[in-house]
């Protein structure tokens, strides 16, 4: 044997040994992922529901686990080999620790999904430490049982990694398959082309996702986003949202400096429904936490659990196919009051750096309205208070402003979201009593909190009984009742909110200003803790405009969003009460569509979480990521294959993102001249 062979043979042998050792540990990692997928399916089936075709769910889950591992395995292999060549024992220990840490994180991500029914992604980085602490605390905190459970899991992981590697015998030929397959998938990008079919529901589609893969991919994309070379100033982007003439589009006046500034073209569509009055109306906007169309009003596919709100909608202008602009509360104030773009992590996340802008609140204050905001929790959550103060709200009422004698929601591990909804409305009625009111017309915004996780309410026993009674009234059979009891706390909180609304309106009808008040009721987003049927369901909320001033009511099937509310209210007030406003505005919304027939004249982005702006609607189509869906007349949706339409929506979405990026990079919303002129007088 040659000298060269003697020198290289030990290295080749070590590489073979390293490959075998690496693949054995990797197979154990994959086995643990498979076991955890079974656990996830069974656990979610027990606490939520078992989706149809469990065999298919298991198959797609295992495939997702395998692809997740293969996506990263070759890179890990390249690190493992040189360490093994010098210190074999160290390489094994480090890889075992690495696997153990990632498996523990994976378990945490599974538990998060079982609670939120949405995989955790880069939205984690959109919240402050204080916000995260409050959310965890109000959702139950970290219990002793949870800690013990994690200790047991870690013990099991250590046991598997310590004792099982010696039981698995692999030859080099079999061992090299894993890193080789990983390299092949990486080079060919094959894994990106493998996607599961559209399963029974959005819950099922989310269930089969590997939660670690989703989290790490989202994290990488968040900190290292793809560089997009598309020119925002190209003809195909400026003022062009795909060329569909039936879809309204703005003529932007200075896209480079003010990406969303355009001529105000909002039409007054509300006047035909209202009686003429001599004085501007009071406006009360009730934003209901988690109020989804899925369980609200007639035709709700989960059943109507809001009998009072339903009765109110029959006396109102009621949009049954309305959409929130966000999948969480962070989006509701900027989109509804300001019709503002999202910036990077939601407009509120800009904090003190929010660019000057106009909103319904600031414009009405400029025109002599008295403005107020009411919330049972801490208004600093999501920087709501910063936004409201920048719009110079006259009164900001949150949990710090409640006097003695008011009752909070029951605490969980010492945490509570704040005062319950009945007390919130009582506080509003007391502080806004007609004897104490200023003579000016008023705009009030009320944000509820009782229908938020953990759904622990006052009078819980009574409302759990009401939940059982409601299921009987809705005609549920035994199997359906059993399924719904998995969410009894959620439904009980909805019934509680409905009663709080009933009491609120009963009291308001006795007030002298009731006859000249306009009420708007909508959800900030659909409650995600009850499984959703499809992607659009997360945003599907009702909009009700109720008022004694109405001269006729209407049930409207057209699609509008929170973006459209302020433009329409301002247009109505301009027409009837000559309030002042600029001719150039930055509204994202084009105004409410009052058609009784199903249609969508709008094109809007929707932001699922603070870091996931992946949804866009245009006409009767919905883009979610790279998937295209066609909306039905009840706002259900089905996947469609239409490359031309897909490209059209992707181009339109990209056009918005380019403008939005300018705001992220410091572009202004409105010129200083408009900001100074319409700044509310202090």
Instruction: List pLDDT tens digits, range 36-54.
Output: 999 999 988 888 888 888 8
Residue 1 clears pLDDT 60, i.e. is over it: no
Lowest mean pLDDT among 107-111, 151-155, 647-651: 151-155
Q: What mean pLDDT comes out for the span 83-89?
A: 89
Confidence grade of residue 232 (pLDDT, cut at 50, 70, 90)? very low
Count of CB atoms within 10 A of residue 671's CB? 17
pLDDT at 170: 76
Q: What mean pLDDT comes out for the span 273-298?
A: 96
- How does DSSP classify residue 252? B
Residue 139 clears pLDDT 80, i.e. is over it: no
Residue 133 clears pLDDT 80, i.e. is over it: no
Q: End-to-end distance of the chain based on CA atoms, in angstroms? A: 94
- Candidates 3.40.50.300, 3.40.720.10, 1.10.10.10, 3.90.79.10; correct CATH number of 262-401+444-455+512-677? 3.40.720.10
> Which one is predicted more confidently, 417 or 221?
417
Confidence grade of residue 136 (pLDDT, cut at 50, 70, 90)? low
d(CA 117, CA 429): 36
CA-nearest of 534, 631, 540, 639 to 205 is 534
Rounded to the nearest integer, the mean pLDDT of the chain is 88
Burial level of 548, CB count in 10 A (0-12/13-18/19+)?
middle
pLDDT at 247: 54
pLDDT at 437: 62
Token pair in block for residue 90: 């160290």
603 neighbors 268 (Cβ within 8 angstroms): no
Digit-coded pLDDT (tens) for 354-382: 999 999 999 999 999 999 999 999 999 99
Q: What values do phi and psi take at 419, rounded to 5?
A: -80, 145
- Local structure of 248: helix, strand or coil: coil
Any residues with CB less than 8 A from the CB of 454 and at least 6 apart, and which?
138, 139, 140, 412, 489
What residue spans define the domains of the chain? 3-223, 262-401+444-455+512-677
Q: What mean pLDDT comes out for the span 132-143?
A: 58
Q: What torsion, rounded to 10 degrees, do the Cα atoms 96, 100, 102, 105 define? A: -170
- How does DSSP classify residue 167? G
d(CA 341, CA 247): 19
Confidence grade of residue 4 (pLDDT, cut at 50, 70, 90)? very low
Lowest mean pLDDT among 50-64, 212-226, 272-286, 357-371: 212-226
How many percent of the chain have pLDDT more than 90? Answer: 68
Confidence grade of residue 490 (pLDDT, cut at 50, 70, 90)? very high
Residue 677 clears pLDDT 50, i.e. is over it: yes
Residue 6 clears pLDDT 50, i.e. is over it: no
CA-nearest of 618, 628, 621, 680 to 655 is 618
Any residues with CB less than 8 A from the CB of 86 and at least 6 apart, and which?
none
CA-nearest of 167, 135, 141 to 24 is 167
d(CA 333, CA 384): 8
> Which one is predicted more confidently, 155 or 67?
67
Residue 661's alpha-carbon distances to 13, 252, 438, 654, in angstroms, are 53, 16, 42, 10
Residue 682 clears pLDDT 60, i.e. is over it: no
Token pair in block for residue 55: 């065999």
- Centroid of chain to Cα 639: 21
Confidence grade of residue 457 (pLDDT, cut at 50, 70, 90)? very high
d(CA 241, CA 653): 8
**What number of H helices and E strands is found in the chain?**
21, 16
CA-nearest of 8, 26, 9 to 170 is 26
Residue 577 clears pLDDT 80, i.e. is over it: yes
139 neighbors 112 (Cβ within 8 angstroms): no
pLDDT at 33: 93
How are beta strands 517-523 and 554-556 bridged, if at all?
A: unpaired
CA-nearest of 132, 532, 521, 486 to 301 is 532
> Strands, DSSP E only, in 481-618?
517-523, 540-546, 554-556, 560-561, 584-585, 603-606, 615-618
pLDDT at 244: 38
Confidence grade of residue 11 (pLDDT, cut at 50, 70, 90)? confident
Residue 180 clears pLDDT 50, i.e. is over it: yes
Residue 410 clears pLDDT 60, i.e. is over it: yes
Digit-coded pLDDT (tens) for 498-554: 999 999 999 999 999 999 999 999 999 999 999 999 999 999 999 999 999 999 999
State pTM to two decimals.
Answer: 0.85
Confidence grade of residue 128 (pLDDT, cut at 50, 70, 90)? low
Confidence grade of residue 227 (pLDDT, cut at 50, 70, 90)? low
135 neighbors 413 (Cβ within 8 angstroms): no
> Strands, DSSP E only, in 417-547?
442-447, 517-523, 540-546
Q: What mean pLDDT comes out for the span 95-124?
A: 87
pLDDT at 2: 44
pLDDT at 204: 87
- Centroid of chain to Cα 641: 26
Residue 231 clears pLDDT 70, i.e. is over it: no
Digit-coded pLDDT (tens) for 305-341: 999 999 999 999 999 999 999 999 999 999 999 999 9
Digit-coded pLDDT (tens) for 186-218: 777 666 656 655 676 788 888 999 999 999 988
- Which residue in this structure is represented by tokens 């402050």? 128
Residue 417 clears pLDDT 70, i.e. is over it: yes
- Local structure of 338: helix, strand or coil: helix
Confidence grade of residue 175 (pLDDT, cut at 50, 70, 90)? confident
Contacts 24+ apart (CB under 8 A), 3-11: 11/85
- Local structure of 335: helix, strand or coil: helix
> Which one is predicted more confidently, 9 or 440?
440
């Amino acid at each position: 044997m040659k000298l060269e062979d003697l020198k290289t043979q030990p290295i080749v042998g070590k590489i073979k040994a390293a490959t075998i050792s690496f693949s054995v540990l990797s197979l154990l990692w994959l086995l643990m992922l498979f076991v955890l997928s079974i656990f996830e399916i069974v656990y979610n089936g027990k606490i939520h529901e078992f989706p149809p075709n469990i065999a298919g769910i298991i198959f797609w889950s295992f495939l997702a686990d395998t692809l997740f591992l293969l996506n990263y395995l070759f890179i890990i292999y390249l690190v493992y080999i040189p360490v093994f060549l010098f210190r074999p024992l160290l390489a094994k220990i480090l890889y075992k620790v690495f696997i153990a840490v990632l498996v523990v994180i994976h378990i945490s991500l599974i538990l998060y999904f079982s609670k939120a029914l949405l995989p955790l992604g880069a939205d984690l980085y959109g919240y402050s430490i204080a916000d995260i602490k409050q959310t965890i605390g109000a959702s139950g905190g970290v219990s002793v049982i949870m800690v013990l459970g994690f200790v047991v899991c870690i013990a099991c992981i250590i046991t598997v990694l310590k004792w099982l590697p010696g039981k698995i015998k692999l030859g080099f030929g079999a061992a090299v398959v894993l890193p080789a397959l990983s390299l092949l998938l990486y080079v060919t990008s094959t894994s990106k082309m493998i996607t599961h079919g559209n399963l029974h529901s959005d819950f099922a589609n989310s269930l089969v996702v590997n939660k670690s893969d989703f989290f790490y991919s989202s994290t990488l994309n968040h900190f290292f986003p793809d560089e997009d070379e598309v020119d925002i100033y190209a003809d195909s982007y400026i003022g062009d949202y795909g060329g569909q003439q039936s879809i309204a589009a703005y003529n932007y006046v200075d896209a480079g400096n003010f990406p969303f500034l355009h001529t105000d073209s909002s039409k007054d569509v509300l006047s035909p429904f209202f009686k003429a009055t001599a004085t501007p109306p009071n406006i009360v906007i009730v934003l209901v936490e988690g109020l989804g169309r899925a369980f609200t009003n007639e035709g709700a596919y989960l059943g109507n659990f809001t009998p009072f709100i339903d009765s109110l909608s029959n006396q109102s202008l009621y949009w049954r196919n309305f959409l929130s602009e966000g999948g969480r509360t962070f989006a509701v104030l900027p989109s509804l009051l300001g019709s503002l773009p999202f910036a990077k992590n939601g407009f509120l996340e800009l904090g003190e750096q929010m660019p000057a802008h106009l909103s319904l609140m600031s414009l009405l204050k400029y025109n002599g309205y008295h403005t107020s905001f009411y919330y049972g929790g801490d208004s600093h959550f999501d920087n709501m208070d910063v936004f409201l103060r920048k719009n110079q709200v006259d009164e900001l009422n949150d949990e710090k402003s409640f006097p003695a004698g008011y009752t909070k929601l029951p605490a969980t591990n010492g945490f509570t979201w704040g005062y319950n909804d009945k007390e919130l409305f009582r506080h509003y009625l007391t502080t806004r009593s007609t004897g104490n009111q200023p003579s000016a017309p008023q705009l009030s915004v009320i944000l509820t909190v009782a229908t938020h996780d953990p759904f622990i309410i006052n009078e819980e026993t009574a409302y759990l009984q009401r939940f059982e009674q409601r299921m009987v009234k809705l005609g549920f059979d035994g199997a359906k009742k059993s399924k719904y009891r998995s969410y009894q706390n959620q439904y009980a909180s909805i019934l509680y909110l409905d009663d709080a609304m009933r009491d609120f309106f009963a009291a308001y009808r006795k007030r002298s200003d009731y006859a000249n008040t306009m009420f708007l009721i909508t959800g900030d987003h659909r409650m995600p803790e009850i499984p959703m049927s499809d992607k659009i369901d997360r945003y599907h909320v009702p909009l009700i405009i109720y008022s004694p001033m109405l001269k006729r009511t209407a049930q409207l099937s057209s699609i509008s969003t929170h973006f459209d509310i302020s433009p329409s209210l301002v247009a109505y007030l301009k027409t009837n009460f000559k309030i002042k406003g600029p001719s150039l505005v930055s509204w994202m919304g084009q105004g409410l569509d009052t058609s009784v027939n199903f249609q969508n004249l709008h094109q809007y982005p929707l932001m699922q979480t603070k870091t996931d702006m992946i949804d866009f609607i245009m006409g009767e189509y919905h883009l979610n990521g790279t998937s295209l869906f066609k909306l039905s007349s009840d706002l259900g949706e089905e996947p469609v294959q239409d490359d031309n339409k897909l490209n059209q929506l992707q181009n339109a979405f990209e056009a918005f993102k380019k403008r939005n990026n300018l705001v992220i990079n410091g572009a202004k919303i409105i010129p200083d001249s408009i900001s100074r002129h319409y700044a509310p007088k202090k």
